[in-house]
Amino acid sequence: MQNSIITIMAALGDPTRFAIVERLLKEGETSAGNLADPFDMSKPAISRHLKVLENAKLIERRTKAQFRVFRACPDTFRKMDDWLEKYRKFWEDSFDRLENILKENHDLDQ
């Protein structure tokens, strides 16, 4: 899982790829041409971005008639959420402990 998290984070680290994933999450399945429209770059450049996202398993491609269509991969986002949850829990517990310490010190000063 660690390696896949690194791959996912690296893929999302590029603003173009991040925007593509956000669009797929908001709008659902769409064609490669529609994904390329908002970007001022060549189709081969968009294709390379899509390939990186596919390799990270953030998106998947299928053929619909003569079009390649893409969609976000929900399983990958569930795995990311599970991974983040461990750290979310750690930080919430840490802040709770800090809050208790600060309250105890404040009560002692009173």
Q: pLDDT tens digit string along 9-36?
A: 999 999 999 999 999 999 999 999 999 9
Domains defined for the chain, CATH in brackets: 2-109 (1.10.10.10)
| Separation CA 108–CA 93 (nearest Å) | 23
Q: What is the pTM of this model?
A: 0.78
HSE of 59 in the Cβ direction (CA atoms, 13 Å)?
Answer: 30
How many other C-beta atoms can be found within 10 angstroms of the C-beta atom of residue 12? 18
Q: Which two tokens stand for residue 17?
A: 């790829």
Please say whether the dihedral angle defined by the alpha carbons of residues 99, 100, 101 and 107, taken in this order, is positive or negative.
positive
- Is residue 37 a contact partner of residue 77, using CB atoms and an 8 Å limit? no
pLDDT above 70 for 1: no
Q: How confident is the model at residue 2 (pLDDT cuts 50, 70, 90)?
A: low
Instruction: Please write the tens of the pLDDT for every residue from 87-104.
Output: 898 999 999 999 989 988
pLDDT tens profile 53-91: 999 999 999 988 888 899 999 999 999 998 899 889 899
Query: What is the phi-psi region of residue 57: left when phi exceeds 0, alpha when psi lies from -120 to 50, beta otherwise?
Result: left
Measured in whole angstroms, the distance separating CA 53 from the mean position of its chain's CA atoms is 10
